[in-house]
Amino acid sequence: MAYFGSKGTKLTAQMVDNTAPTPGTTPYATRQPYPQFAPYVLDGYNEYNSSYNALAARAQRRYAHGLSFLLSYTYSKNIDYVDNLSSGNIFGQVTSNPTRYNSSLTRGLAGFDVRNIVSLSNVWKIPGSTGNHFADAVVAGWEVSDIFSYRSGMPFSVFLSTDNEGIGTIGGRYTEYPNQVANPAVAHPGPHEWFNTAAFATPTLGTLGNVKRNPASLRSDNFFDDDMTLGKDWKLYHRNSIELRGEFFNLFNHTNYGFPGQVLNTSNFGTIGGTANPGRTVQLVGKIHF
């Protein structure tokens, strides 16, 4: 077992720098620090921080006759203010640009926070030798391996599409959050209803919403994947051989959903329109070793 941790300080990212300090219904230009300028984006703001803590465990066992297993598990928590330099699209989700005055609302789970990660892999070099050259060409030299992966879903935010707070905004950069008025969880989340969209509402005009960035109650679909390889070596002479191998990615053709729509009062809010992984893929490989 092992513990991993890291702390980031004075991290660089963007922020919307010239919005009004407080929400209101009067023209936001009357509340801006610099009304002669737009609510511009400031690059190179170096005051963000992050933290990562994780506990990792690994178990490995090798058996006779070429069989081995490796099981690993990681439990972690990742907290930050922004997810990347530009706070743009990450893993297909919508992210926000903090303003100078609401950065406390953006401190939360990182958009790439993966709480649980499990990986199970095995390799079996199948023993088989008859002593007969022609029979061994069929039964000897086979190898099968498999990697099963699981990770829990990643958090995401919900946003308002308009400047409901009256603080000023820049098109395409989301800085404002709605009110949560009910439990967003649903009994059987699916692509047509990943969360309870009625749980979020537009706040009263000129007021701040009570939702913060990446709340723990909103996470994307868990991710499952199983990849398998089956191959065989035909020995020729000396160290020369021919290898044929079949590789199966997403062996069980499991669908992992992408992120749902995150912007309130839009047509795709709470629904999922894509997947986070391709379907089953089969690849055949041939090699000559000499």
pLDDT tens string, the chain, 290 residues long: the values are 999 999 999 988 888 889 999 999 999 999 999 999 888 888 778 889 999 999 999 999 999 888 999 999 999 999 999 886 444 455 667 777 788 888 888 899 998 999 999 999 999 998 877 777 777 777 788 899 999 999 999 999 999 999 999 998 887 678 899 999 999 999 999 999 999 999 999 999 999 999 999 999 999 999 999 999 999 988 877 788 888 999 999 999 999 999 999 999 999 999 999 998 889 999 999 999 88
Distance (Å, whole) CA 195 – CA 185 = 5
pTM for the whole thing? Answer: 0.84
Do the beta carbons of residue 256 and residue 221 sit within 8 Å? yes
Distance (Å, whole) CA 142 – CA 125 = 6
Tell me what pLDDT residue 85 has: 46
Tell me what pLDDT residue 266 has: 94
- The two tokens of residue 283 are 């690849």
